[in-house]
Chains A and B, each alone.
Chain A
Amino acid sequence: MTKVRRQPVAISIPDRRDAALTLGPALLVFAFGFLLPLINLAIESLKEFTPGRVGSVENAAATVQNYYELANQAFASVLLTTFWIGGVAAIIGQLVAFPLAYFIVRRISPRMRALTLGFLITLVLSSVLIKTYAIELTFGSVGILRPLLLTLGLSPNSREYINIVVTAGLVHSIIPVATLTLIGAMQSIDPRLLDAAQSLGAPGWKAHLSITLPLSFPALISSTLVSLTFAISAFVIPMVLGRGRVLFISNVIYTRFSDIANYPSGAAISLVMLAAALAVVAVITFAQAWKVSR
């Protein structure tokens, strides 16, 4: 197969002016709302912290100690917990959202579809705190399902169980977002392709695997990235459901900034977290691009 190479396109001056006018406001907001604070954070992360003070003092000495002290097993363990639980929740979310999105697009009446979409949007807009406490009151150590858990031999006090409840909390929030993301992709798939495959003798599952899944793959990747980003940056869910025993990076960052006022350390952790998240997103994006180019 002949590969098509993209040729650079010359942009005319009016096009450039249009581009500047179109992108200008967004770039301005990005520069002041994100880039400037990020630079400030990077500068703060290189300052020495004086114990007992609030943030770094004026004319604090420059140091890389705030990064150096993160090179330990405990921090790696928190980072791993964040990505492990967040990753599992993102994948479970897609496994539930994908068939759900298909069902909403192809199997129910337009009226029911509108109702279901409204329900999903309500779930997205409802408070994370309320949803989190709903899970705590159901599956927590004093939840209504506690007797059932004990009967099954599950200790509500075990670390494994707390991990599962935190994952459940994340999945609960991911499903509506992922479903809404995937619905758009499902709608753009021509249903006649599936009909054609099945009329030629392909079983339903095979037709889905060879048509629905590949055609919605880019949307699935986008949905996974959105879900993963939400999960690894979650703060309230691990704080409430983790009972102070499951720590996410966001909880550690909060403690550093808000409770012990060690801004330089909090800034260093934030930047490490940002770098780790960008690395994961980059790997997934490049893997997708590589797969598409093959």
Chain B
Amino acid sequence: MLHDMTRRRFLGSAAAAGIAGTMTGFARSAAAGSGNLTAVEWGGEVVEAMKQIAADQNAATFNWVLHQGGAGAILPKIKAVWPNVDYDYVAGWEGSFNSMVKEDWLETINPADVPNLANIPEKIIIRDGKGNIKAVPRAVGGMYFGARTDTAPIAVKTIDDLLSPDLKGAICWPGPTQSMMLQIVALALHAGGSETNMEPGWKLMTELAKSGNIGRVAITDIDFTNSLTSGETSVGFFAEPGWAAVAKNFPVTRFTKDSNFKAFLYQSGFGVLKNRPNTKATLDFVNFAISPDMNSLYAKVAGEAPLNSKAVTPDNLKHLSFTSDEFSSFVYVPDYNVVLEQQDAWSKRWEQDIAPLL
């Protein structure tokens, strides 16, 4: 009873509670250092693939945290608690990794700690200004235009067709925080510009917004998938996992090998964070995850082309497999540092010039 509490009893209880709390803290630290990893992954098939890979080993157990929105959304969460970060690795791509490298949050990867890195193409590996390896790539995905063939009101042949009155409300367009706005770079490329000369792209984007053809602006990948699978929209620009989810149940035409469109390739991979007690366990798991068998499993489940040269590329990812001639004709590799530094300006431009027209 509360009124029976004496000062001595109170101090005794407080001491017991303090010891219990300290023990809990020690227990948590011990758990953190015993191969219990916290990993940030994308949802849907990607995390499913990683769960299957994790189930094939016993060295580490996982707490899975999912990206909310784009991969960049994790950055403020890390900044808020840095240097006491809670994540052992963060799945990301060029966009988020370049930011993390600038903030000096990522461990330098020693190739001796990740032997399977030897089978990953050298030129795709992200390095800092001193040439240190800062992330481990696992797969290649694409961001590109496509259409749900059974519901698209017209057969889209070029980017100019996106302005057709027949496509009223039928386009699902990525929001300003999706795909680092490469969709507008694609418009710029079509109109003779590039990531360093975006005015033609913004002009075309303005026309598209005015046309009334954009039925939904997808803020998340689920927005995109729901919109296309429900038939709300039929044409769009999005990353591979989004298209793969739609293609599971509906016929999809992907414009990855069409000279009238440009596809963008990105690497998805692992960024291992500094200041964690589990770096060795994390690197061991990363090495395991990019081994030929696990990389093949990842590609099959997640729908991204494997980067380990000894892994098997599934037939359903042939649209992301390019010969060098195809690569130069259909794929555009932007300067991601320029794209990253322009995000703020482009996002504000979207809010000011495009959002009011939608």
Binding site for B on A (CB under 8 A): 49, 51-55, 69, 72-75, 77-78, 140-142, 155, 157, 159, 239, 243-245, 247, 252, 255-263, 265
Q: Can you report 21 A-B residue pairs in the complex whose CB atoms are below 8 A from each other?
A: A51-B341, A51-B345, A52-B340, A52-B341, A72-B352, A74-B351, A75-B352, A78-B355, A141-B169, A141-B215, A142-B231, A157-B215, A245-B216, A245-B355, A258-B72, A258-B76, A259-B177, A259-B347, A260-B177, A261-B76, A265-B344
Looking at the assembled complex, report how far the CB atom of B134 sits from the nearest CB atom of chain A, in whole angstroms.
15
Contact of A74 among B337, B341, B356 (CB under 8 A): B356
> Cβ of A247 and Cβ of B351 under 8 Å apart?
yes
CB-CB under 8 A from A245, the residues of chain B are 214, 216-217, 355, 358
> Cβ of B75 and Cβ of A54 under 8 Å apart?
yes
Contact of A51 among B76, B215, B342 (CB under 8 A): B342
Q: Which DSSP category, helix, strand, loop or mixed, fits chain A's interface?
A: loop
Least CB separation from B347: chain A residue: A260
Contact of B344 among A49, A159, A244, A258 (CB under 8 A): A49
Which 7 pairs from chain A and chain B are nearest by CB? A244-B217, A259-B177, A157-B169, A74-B352, A52-B341, A142-B230, A245-B358
B193 CB-CB contact with A under 8 Å: no
Chain B residues bordering chain A, tally (CB within 8 A): 44
> Cβ of B73 and Cβ of A259 under 8 Å apart?
yes
Contact of B358 among A142, A155, A159 (CB under 8 A): A159
Q: Mark B207-230, 1 if CB is under 8 A from A, else 0.
A: 000001011111100010000001
CA distance A157 to B356 in the complex (A): 15
Of residues 166 to 217 in B, which have CB atoms within 8 Å of A's CB atoms? 168-169, 175-177, 212, 214-217
- Among A69, A142, A157, chain B packs the most CB atoms within 10 A around the CB of A157
> Cβ of A261 and Cβ of B176 under 8 Å apart?
no
Least CB separation from A245: chain B residue: B358
CB-CB under 8 A from B70, the residues of chain A are 259
Of residues 63 to 83 in B, which have CB atoms within 8 Å of A's CB atoms? 68-70, 72-73, 75-76, 78-79
**A77-B75 CB under 8 A given contacts A51-B341, A244-B223:** no
> Cβ of A239 and Cβ of B344 under 8 Å apart?
no
CB-CB under 8 A from B38, the residues of chain A are none
- Among B103, B214, B343, B348, chain A packs the most CB atoms within 10 A around the CB of B348
B130 CB-CB contact with A under 8 Å: no
